[in-house]
Amino acid sequence: MSCSPLRGSRQASLAEGALSSGERTLLLWIPVTVGAAAFQVARNAAQRGLIGGAGPWGATLVRFLFGFPFAFAFPLTAWLFTGHPQAHFSPAFLGFALAGSFSQVMATAALLVAMNRAGFAVGTALQQSSLPLAGILGWIVFGDRLSAHAWVGVAVVTAGVAALSWPRGSDMSGDRPVSGAVYGLLSGLLFGFSLNAFRHACLVFSPQNLIYAATGTVAFTQAVQSVVLGGWLAWRKPAALESVLMSWRESLMAGFCGACASAAWQFALVMAPAASVRAGGVVESPIAAAAGRRLFAEKLSAGKLAAGALVAVGVALTALG
């Protein structure tokens, strides 16, 4: 990585301090987060429909490759209509952006596998574990402090995830629900890491212009992700790449929704702390449950609905810390 974590963190902290208190407390981040969650569910649904022919890595590429034209148009528009703000491609920005990019690619692939094995709504609920898992990682690696009720939230989420993914009846004979839960937890951990990395990248990129900072970071990261993952598929799995290109209509919709979701998440992140934004993103779970029932004829038992609610409560408790 091109910069040390401590040096990058100091630069990001200085950039964050440059934002006015009015901008940081702007309540606009709440509806922006809800919109991001809705676009993310739409993107996940489109990607899940592509996983059969393209595989998890091909379906992951859809999000970045077909989303890039939209992701590039967003910062260009912001640059033209907000006074031509400056972009800072500093070592700190590159370090945070690249770390977030690669972890997001792996997180997306893990999430798609989880959805395929454990169900669309269950996979989405498992992804909500990103906040408590990120809290644990931050405590172990970076020495971040969590309050007592935040640790209670971690325990509640753990219990909810266990209840949500525990196989019952005939499911006990197979390992798909269990492996789906493992992939879901892995996606949560990786998404939690990428969320914080992207937040720091935005704050370094253009701290004086929130919209340009958010959209510019998305455009840069999606360009990197498209080139790296697309090149790897062309080399190792050309059939998956061909399947992605042949399904360009469905892929274009997934790319558009993905670009909108990413831009909205980043915009919310530069207006509010990552924990608050991720907690607001819990609204994704009921949206996904409704989408899973309507699009994929998935049915959730009362027990799983209760477990999903428990996960949401745990995430909210952790966010308050």
8 Å CB contact between 203 and 16: yes
The token pair that represents 183 in the structure block? 């992939």
Q: Which of 177, 67, 126 has the alpha carbon at shortest distance from 59?
A: 67
Q: Residue 86: what residue type?
A: Q
8 Å CB contact between 319 and 275: yes
- pLDDT at residue 171, as a whole number: 45
- pLDDT at residue 120, as a whole number: 64
Neighbouring residues of 226: CB distance < 8 A, sequence distance ≥ 6: 61, 64, 65, 68
- pLDDT at residue 274, as a whole number: 66
- Predicted TM-score (pTM) of this structure: 0.73
- pLDDT at residue 172, as a whole number: 42
Torsion from C-alpha of 291, 295, 297, 300, nearest 10 degrees: -10
Which residues of the chain have a pLDDT value below 50? 1-8, 12, 14-16, 18-26, 142, 169-173
pLDDT for 35-71, tens place per residue? 898 898 888 777 766 666 677 788 788 888 999 999 9
